[in-house]
């Protein structure tokens, strides 16, 4: 379980917090927990604090106030445990790639976890298949497109097999087969008990998978609801919601079939 308790994160501002120069309050007193196995979507307009909040989940951002605990341990007490338990795919995956080849990059995390060679090979193969890059372990990172690098970054996080997987705008640069493949894997992981936290301001891909949707506005939780109820409120936060979304009993991603044109989507204002 991930538990954020009264988390506030600021950027900038005068040392000592001089009056009138408090900087930017990116996350403002957020209390939120993500249960084991839950699929949580974090939505909100640009600048609403989504990335900052989820980065606090594994200590990439240290809150100015409040605490974050992962599996019962404060992140500040055991950063290594938090980073092993919470896998994260950043918005700009290029920041995340460390090795010269695809296979070496995806193997990096499991190697650091001390996995056996056979286990590393299994995880790398499995993770590359999940992002539609099976058999491309020897490709050089330097020769990959932006979307392919994003897929390698996702594979790297999958190979860690974390308890909680955070994906920040996971589908931005993915082509259709890769998008579907990653969605399938997220569905499988969710079914197998991994908690998935998907950060987005475009809900088309993830609303059908979600158990719950949190909407942020100006760093605060403005919506925290089941997908159907959240979908009615999110346009007010400048979040686009698929117009004719079928909230099936089992929650399949039925909001948009592959290739379905975007004019089927309406709703409130959008930042797209």
Ligand X SMILES: Nc1ncnc2c1ncn2[C@@H]1O[C@H](COP(=O)(O)OP(=O)(O)OP(=O)(O)O)[C@@H](O)[C@H]1O
Q: Which residues bind ligand X (CB under 6 A)?
A: 11-12, 24, 26, 44, 46-52, 201
Is the CB of 25 or the CB of 106 nearer to ligand X? 25
Q: Which residues 6+ apart lie within 8 Å of 261 measured at CB? A: none
CB of 93 to ligand X, least distance (A): 14
Q: Which is nearer to ligand X, 46 or 116 (CB)?
A: 46
Pairing between strand 220-225 and 212-217? antiparallel
Is 6 in contact with 66 (CB distance < 8 Å)?
A: yes
Whole-number minimum distance, CB 84 to ligand X, in Å?
24
CB 34 within 8 A of CB 7: no
**CA–CA separation, 177 and 230 (whole Å):** 28
Distance of CA 185 to the CA centre of its chain: 14
Please say which residue, 12 or 72, places its beta carbon nearer to ligand X.
Answer: 12
Instruction: CB nearer to ligand X: give 103 or 219.
Output: 219
CA distance to 77, 106, 231, per residue, from 259 (Å): 47, 30, 22
Residue 263: CB minimum distance to ligand X, A: 24
CB of 49 to ligand X, least distance (A): 5
The enclosing H or E element of 34 equals strand 24-34
Q: How many CA atoms lie within 13 A of 22 on its CB side?
A: 10
> Is the Cβ of residue 151 or residue 201 nearer to ligand X in the bound state?
201
Q: Closest separation between CB of residue 20 and ligand X, Å?
A: 17
């Amino acid at each position: 379980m991930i538990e954020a308790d009264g988390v506030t994160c600021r950027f900038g501002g005068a040392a000592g917090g001089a009056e009138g120069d408090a900087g930017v309050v990116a996350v403002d007193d957020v209390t939120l927990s993500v249960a084991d196995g839950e699929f949580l979507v974090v939505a909100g307009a640009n600048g609403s604090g989504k990335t900052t909040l989820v980065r606090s989940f594994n200590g990439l951002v240290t809150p100015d106030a409040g605490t974050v605990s992962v599996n019962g341990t404060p992140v500040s007490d055991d950063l290594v445990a938090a980073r092993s338990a919470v896998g994260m795919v950043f918005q700009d995956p290029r920041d995340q790639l460390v090795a010269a080849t695809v296979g070496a990059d995806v193997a990096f995390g499991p190697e650091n976890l001390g996995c056996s060679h056979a286990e590393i090979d299994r995880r790398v193969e499995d993770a590359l298949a999940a992002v539609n890059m099976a058999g491309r372990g020897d490709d050089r990172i330097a020769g990959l497109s932006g979307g392919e690098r994003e897929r390698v970054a996702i594979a790297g996080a999958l190979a860690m097999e974390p308890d909680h997987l955070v994906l920040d705008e996971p589908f931005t640069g993915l082509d259709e087969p890769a998008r579907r493949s990653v969605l399938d894997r997220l569905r499988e992981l969710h079914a197998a008990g991994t908690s998935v936290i998907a950060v987005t301001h475009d809900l088309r891909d993830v609303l059908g998978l979600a158990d719950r949707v949190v909407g942020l506005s100006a760093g605060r939780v403005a919506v925290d609801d089941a997908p159907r109820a959240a979908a009615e409120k999110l346009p007010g936060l400048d979040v686009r919601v698929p117009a004719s979304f079928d909230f099936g009993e089992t929650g399949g991603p039925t909001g948009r079939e592959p290739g379905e044109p975007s004019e089927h989507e309406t709703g409130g204002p959008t930042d797209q």
